[in-house]
Amino acid sequence: MRLACILLVVAACGDGAHVRIGSKKFTESVILGDAATELMQQAGIEVEHRRELGGTTILWDALRAGELDAYVEYTGTIADELLAGAGIDPTDDAALRTALRARGVEMSRPLGFSDTYALGMRADEAARLGITTISDLRAHPELVLAFSHEFLDRKEGWGSLRSRYGLPQQDPTGMEHELAYRGLLAGSVQVTDLYSTDAEIDAGHLRVLVDDLHHFPDYRAVWLYRSDLDARAVAQLDRMAGAITTAEMIRANARARVDGEPEPAVAADLLARTLGARVSAAVPGRASRIWTHTREHLGMVAVSMLLATLVSIPLGVIAARRRRIGAAILAVVGLIQTLPSFALLVFMIPVLGIGWTPAVAALFLYSLLPIVRNTAQGIAGIAPSLRESAEALGLGPWARLRLVELPLATPAIVAGLKTAAVINVGTATLGALIGAGGYGQPILTGIRLDDRATILEGAIPAAALAILVQVGFGLIERWLARRAAP
């Protein structure tokens, strides 16, 4: 147990990067995160880019908790989401800075482009129906709408947009932004939300519907960074202010999403074109990436399983020997198992931050039920005659547990460990959403970029690891069965 605690402390404290840049799970944010990282590396600043961390809430909470030092945000999001209720005009930079500074956060000057929300359709479909503005949607209640989950939940998103325009459509389907685009191009979706700098607008021949009632606020890109961020790092972020036009950002997004160029290389080219900066863009090879993700994934699974084993077996013993307490223990670990994985990860951010530690904690919690349940069932299922024989030999409770009950319950315990380990291997892929890495990182990147090879870079090793776990525990179970045979 002491070793496990030491491992957790080292993991939590072992972040040697001086500056931690965050990015959301969409291409533009990742490119800008890479650009800032490359500028800081060129300036001799030790820096880490924590890529594709999910949505606004995750990055904002991580920034305020000190888990991140900077990330790109948009003024409309700051005013309507991060400072909701303050009634600040998103065009009033001075008011935004004052409100943010009270929360320990600074805002850079705008980077030079805006990336506002919009609604879009395939151009041929919009032309056939005569739709050019959002107001035109009122005449077409039959249209199929699908929006990103974040757009559905935002203050200026679907709910307020429908009220403002009086739209008759039924509640739309929620899906990932990239998947909604694919549905739009395939014809299964007719209207979706866009970002005005999305590369798919030109590449997919889409029509951006005019926001004729001016519903969407101003979404100028800025850096948010902690007030205590090193001045050298702030200077590098300031270099990007006013330098990136909308056309340049669309071009960069297209190179990554449409042409399939690596984002670090796209970021380096963006800096060269806008700042004249010559930076190196190190792009690791596929084998190197797989090895890195394997180490990250194995680390999460191994440590969480170690902790779960040390906690679950004693809990299973208590559950077997004390029925009332056991019922409560099984109810609690069963309830934990029903919690959605991503929700559990998000709940842990205020306490454990982002990265490896909350991912391990979540995996630990998900491993409890199968091990506790199998341990309790294995001990409870021991024949009464064997217990009576142990008592007749004068063995006390702890001696009976060590010499009789646990050995006889071992096959059931191993089966529980196998189930927990297989669950862990799959669930650990979600750790990428909070910066824990692992096989989930290439899977998320591949989905975002519509790159099947990158998806398989994470999916195949994850499946192979799950099979190896099953085979390994299967061999252990067979060995135990042979050993128990007369």
Smallest CA-to-CA distance from 292 within 461, 422, 67, 452 is with 461
C-alpha triplet 313, 357, 340: angle, nearest 5°: 75
Q: What is the pLDDT of residues 163-207, one digit of tens each?
A: 999 999 988 988 887 788 888 888 899 999 998 898 888 888 899
Q: What is the pLDDT of residue 308?
A: 95
Average per-residue pLDDT for the chain: 88
pLDDT score for 480:
76
| H runs (alpha helix) in 243-355 | 246-257, 263-275, 286-321, 323-338, 341-352
Rounded (10°) angle between helices 323-338 and 356-380: 140
Which pLDDT score is estimated for 9?
A: 37
Please name every residue paired with 75 in a beta bridge, in sequence order, or none if there are none: none
- pLDDT-based confidence at residue 484 (cuts at 50, 70, 90): low
pLDDT at 396 over 80: no
* Torsion angle of the four alpha carbons 424, 426, 427, 431, in this order, in degrees rounded to the nearest 10: 110
Q: What is the mean pLDDT of residues 347-362?
A: 85
What confidence tier does 390 reach under pLDDT thresholds 50, 70, 90? low
Query: Cβ contacts of residue 189 below 8 Å, gap of 6+?
Result: 144, 145, 146, 173, 180, 183
Helix 356-380 with 286-321: angle, nearest 10 deg: 40
Calculate mean pLDDT across residues 65-91.
92
- Answer yes or no: are the C-beta atoms of 83 and 93 closer than 8 Å: no
Q: What average pLDDT does the segment 292-320 reach?
A: 94
* Residue percentage of the chain with pLDDT more than 70: 95
Compute the residue count for the chain.
486
Instruction: Report pLDDT for 10.
Output: 37
**Is residue 220 pLDDT above 70, yes or no?**
yes
Mean per-residue pLDDT for 307-331? 92
- Residues with Cβ within 8 Å of residue 272, at least 6 apart in sequence: 278, 279
Pairing verdict, β 117-122 and 192-195: antiparallel
Question: 36-40, 59-63, 282-286, 460-464: lowest mean pLDDT where?
Answer: 282-286
- pTM, two decimals, is 0.78
Asked whether the predicted pLDDT for residue 392 surpasses 80, the reply is no
**Mean pLDDT throughout 23-42?**
94
Residue 120 has phi, psi (to 5 degrees) of -140, 155
pLDDT over 70 (residue 376): yes
Q: Summarize pLDDT for 113-169 with one digit per residue, the tens.
A: 998 889 999 999 999 999 999 999 999 999 999 998 888 888 888 999 999 999 999
Is a pLDDT exceeding 90 seen at residue 449? Answer: no
| Higher pLDDT pick, 380 / 38 | 38
Least-confidence region, from 40-44, 185-189, 261-265, 448-452: 448-452
Which domains occur in the chain, in start order?
19-112+218-275 (3.40.190.10), 117-209 (3.40.190.120), 286-484 (1.10.3720.10)
Whole-number pLDDT of residue 4: 43
How many CA within 13 A on the CB side of residue 403?
A: 13
Q: How far is CA 379 from CA 18, 136, 387, 408, 411, in A?
A: 51, 68, 10, 7, 11
Residue 132 to residues 173, 212, 299, Cα–Cα distance (Å):
22, 10, 52
Question: Which of 48-62, 64-78, 223-237 is the least confident region?
Answer: 48-62
